[in-house]
Amino acid sequence: MTDTATPRVHSAQNALGDDPRLTDEHRALRAKVREFADHVVAPQAYHYDTQRQLPMAIIAQMGQLGLFGLPFPAEYGGTGKDYLSLCIAVEELARVDQSIAVTLEAGIGLGVMPIFRYGTEEQRARWLPDLTAGRALAGFGLTEADAGSDAGATQTVAREDGDDWVIDGTKQFITNSGTPITSLVTITAVTGERQRSDGSMTKELTSFIVPTGTPGFTVMPGYDKIGWHTSDTHPLVLRGVRVPKQNLLGERGRGYANFLKILDEGRVAFAALCTGAAQGCLEQAADYARTRVVFGRPIGDNQHIAFLLARMQARVHTARLAYYDAALKMAAGMPFKTEASIAKLVGSETAIANAHDASQIMGGYGFLNQNAVGRHYRDSKILEVGEGTTEVQLMIIARSLGFDQ
C-alpha cells in the first residue's frame, strides 16, 4: 500500500535556503533528508502505520545516512554536526511521518544523550558507537504511573548489594524500549534520601544503565495508541534487576537533575518535530487547494481558503524561528531552558492547528488514514503531552517571568 497524498509543494520550504542562520552544510543536510523522506519514508508510511510496527529497514537506512550520529563527535562514531542539524533532520522526517521522526528524536535526545552527557569514558566507548550508527537504540526510563510531570514522585528503587545495584519498579510510555535493536534503557530510581537546605528530606534519585536481556527486566506488550502507530512504545517491569555498580550513570543523587537537563535539550528537537508536522500539513493542503476544482475554479481562489493557508504558513514560520532560536542559544552555550519551552509550546499548538485546518480544507480526504494529513490530525495530540505537557511548559515560562508556579 502507498500513501494517497498528493505531491508536496516545495515553495515554502525552498525559501528556507536563504535563511542566514543556515550554513551550506545545513542546507545540504535538509535537501538530503527531504529527498529520503519523500522517496523512502512517505511511500511506505501508510503501510507501516496499518501494521503498527517500526520499519527496521528504514531505521537501518537512517543509520547509514548518519542521522543517528549527527550531534556527536567522530570519536564516538558520530558525524560532528551541531544540534541544529539534528533538528533540521527531525523536521524533514516529521513532514511525512511523525513516528519515524520521533524514533530519531528520542533515539538521540533521550537514548544517546544521557550516556554522552553523563556517562564515563568506559560507558561511552561501550555503548555509543552502535547507538550513533543506528545499529542499536536506547530508551529513557523516567515516566511512571504516578511520576510523569512530577518525576520526583518516582517509586522505582535501587539498593546496593555487594558490587551490584538491585532495581525494582515499573516504567511506562518508554519510546524505543522494545525494538529488535534496543540495547539498553537508562532509568531513574530512588537510592535513598537527602536533606534539603530547609532541613526537610527529599528522595535521592540516581540514574542507571540497564541493558536489555538483564534477568528481571521485562518489556511488556506495546500500547494500543491513538496515533504514532509506528513508534515503539512499551511499559517496563523491573523485578530484582541486578546491574554492576559501573552501570551507575552520572553522579549518585544527580539522576533527576541530569534527566531534567536532558529533557530541556530534547524539547528543542521535539519542537522541530512539531514544526515539521505543521509544514507537512501546509504543503498537503496548499497542493490540494491548487488542484481541487469546485464550481469551475480551484478552491484556493476562495479568500477563506487562501487566508487559512496564510495563517498556516505564519504559524509554521513562527514555530521554526522559535526552535532555531533555542537550538542556536544551546549551541552557543547560552541559557536556553525558557526558549526550549517556548519552542515546544508554540510548535505543538502549531501542529494541532495546522492539522485541523488542513483536514478541513481537504474535506473527506483529510479524514483518511491513507492521507498524511489524516495521520497528522491523529498523531499531533501527543505533541501537547510528550517530553513535558503544555502545562509544564507554561509553568517554566511563567517562572522565567518571576511567577513561582
Which residues have a catalytic role annotated?
387
Task: Annotate the chain with three-state secondary structure.
Answer: CCCCCCCCCCHHHHHHHHCCCCCHHHHHHHHHHHHHHHHHHHHHHHHHHHHCCCCHHHHHHHHHCCHHHCCCCHHHCCCCCCHHHHHHHHHHHHHHCHHHHHHHHHHHHHHHHHHHHHCCHHHHHHHHHHHHCCCCEEEEECCECCECCCHHHCCCEEEEECCEEEEEEEEEEEECCCCCCEEEEEEEEEEEEEECCCCCEEEEEEEEEEECCCCCEEECCCCCCCCCCCCCEEEEEEEEEEEEHHHEECCCCCHHHHHHHHHHHHHHHHHHHHHHHHHHHHHHHHHHHHHCEECCEEHHHCHHHHHHHHHHHHHHHHHHHHHHHHHHHHHCCCCCHHHHHHHHHHHHHHHHHHHHHHHHHHHHHHHCCCCHHHHHHHHHHHHHCCCCCHHHHHHHHHHHCCCCC
Nearest one of 272, 224, 244 to 108, comparing CA atoms: 272
Buried b (16+ CB within 10 A) or exposed e, 232-247: bbbbbbbeebbbeeeb
Q: Which among 158, 336, 167 is positioned nearest to 253, based on CA atoms? A: 158
What contacts 314, CB < 8 A, 6 or more positions away?
A: none
> Which single residue is written with the C-alpha cell 508536522?
277
**Is residue 357 within 8 Å of residue 312, measured between CB atoms?**
yes
